[in-house]
Amino acid sequence: MKQFLDMDPLKRKELQQPGIPTDSVSNELFNWVREARVSAKALANKELRISIKGDSKEEYPTIKKVINILQKQKVNKFSLVTSMRAAN
Protein backbone atom coordinates (compact mmCIF):
# COMPACT_ATOMS: atom_id res chain seq x y z
CA MET A 1 0.00 0.00 0.00
CA LYS A 2 2.81 2.42 0.88
CA GLN A 3 4.44 1.90 -2.52
CA PHE A 4 1.14 2.56 -4.26
CA LEU A 5 0.50 5.78 -2.32
CA ASP A 6 4.06 7.00 -2.95
CA MET A 7 3.65 6.57 -6.74
CA ASP A 8 3.35 9.50 -9.10
CA PRO A 9 -0.41 10.05 -9.74
CA LEU A 10 -0.01 9.48 -13.49
CA LYS A 11 1.76 6.15 -12.95
CA ARG A 12 -0.85 5.18 -10.37
CA LYS A 13 -3.57 5.78 -12.95
CA GLU A 14 -1.84 3.48 -15.47
CA LEU A 15 -1.51 0.65 -12.94
CA GLN A 16 -4.03 -2.14 -13.47
CA GLN A 17 -6.10 -2.38 -10.28
CA PRO A 18 -8.34 -5.45 -9.94
CA GLY A 19 -10.56 -3.94 -7.24
CA ILE A 20 -12.37 -5.76 -4.45
CA PRO A 21 -14.05 -9.04 -5.44
CA THR A 22 -17.85 -8.93 -5.56
CA ASP A 23 -18.38 -12.59 -6.35
CA SER A 24 -16.29 -14.22 -3.63
CA VAL A 25 -17.92 -16.68 -1.24
CA SER A 26 -17.36 -14.30 1.66
CA ASN A 27 -18.63 -11.25 -0.29
CA GLU A 28 -15.56 -9.12 0.38
CA LEU A 29 -17.04 -5.92 -1.02
CA PHE A 30 -19.95 -6.07 1.44
CA ASN A 31 -17.49 -6.34 4.33
CA TRP A 32 -15.22 -3.56 3.02
CA VAL A 33 -18.15 -1.18 2.60
CA ARG A 34 -19.58 -2.00 6.03
CA GLU A 35 -16.24 -1.53 7.81
CA ALA A 36 -15.50 1.70 5.92
CA ARG A 37 -18.90 3.08 6.93
CA VAL A 38 -18.39 2.10 10.58
CA SER A 39 -14.89 3.67 10.58
CA ALA A 40 -16.09 6.91 8.98
CA LYS A 41 -18.81 7.23 11.59
CA ALA A 42 -16.42 6.47 14.46
CA LEU A 43 -13.58 8.72 13.28
CA ALA A 44 -15.41 11.70 11.80
CA ASN A 45 -18.98 11.23 13.03
CA LYS A 46 -20.10 11.49 9.39
CA GLU A 47 -21.80 9.18 6.96
CA LEU A 48 -19.45 7.83 4.31
CA ARG A 49 -20.00 9.24 0.82
CA ILE A 50 -19.91 6.37 -1.65
CA SER A 51 -19.11 6.56 -5.37
CA ILE A 52 -19.18 3.85 -8.01
CA LYS A 53 -16.69 4.47 -10.81
CA GLY A 54 -17.17 2.93 -14.23
CA ASP A 55 -16.70 3.62 -17.90
CA SER A 56 -18.12 2.53 -21.24
CA LYS A 57 -16.35 -0.84 -20.95
CA GLU A 58 -18.05 -1.67 -17.65
CA GLU A 59 -20.86 -4.18 -17.93
CA TYR A 60 -24.26 -3.37 -16.44
CA PRO A 61 -24.50 -6.60 -14.36
CA THR A 62 -21.29 -5.65 -12.52
CA ILE A 63 -22.62 -2.21 -11.59
CA LYS A 64 -25.98 -3.73 -10.61
CA LYS A 65 -24.19 -6.22 -8.33
CA VAL A 66 -22.38 -3.36 -6.56
CA ILE A 67 -25.65 -1.43 -6.17
CA ASN A 68 -27.32 -4.54 -4.71
CA ILE A 69 -24.49 -4.90 -2.18
CA LEU A 70 -24.98 -1.27 -1.13
CA GLN A 71 -28.75 -1.65 -0.87
CA LYS A 72 -28.37 -4.71 1.39
CA GLN A 73 -26.77 -2.26 3.83
CA LYS A 74 -29.58 0.26 3.30
CA VAL A 75 -27.24 2.55 1.35
CA ASN A 76 -29.37 4.12 -1.36
CA LYS A 77 -27.49 7.38 -1.85
CA PHE A 78 -24.32 7.13 -3.92
CA SER A 79 -22.66 8.75 -6.92
CA LEU A 80 -21.97 7.18 -10.30
CA VAL A 81 -18.67 8.47 -11.69
CA THR A 82 -17.33 8.26 -15.24
CA SER A 83 -14.22 9.73 -16.80
CA MET A 84 -14.64 12.42 -19.40
CA ARG A 85 -12.36 12.53 -22.40
CA ALA A 86 -10.43 15.69 -23.16
CA ALA A 87 -11.41 17.46 -26.38
CA ASN A 88 -8.77 17.21 -29.11
Residues 29, 47: Cα–Cα separation, whole Å: 18
pLDDT in tens, 14-72: 877 777 877 767 789 999 999 999 999 999 999 999 999 887 888 888 899 999 999 99
Please tell me whether the overall predicted TM-score, pTM, comes out greater than 0.75 for this model: no
Domain residue extents for the chain: 24-81
Which ranges of 7-27 does DSSP label H, i.e. alpha helix? 9-14
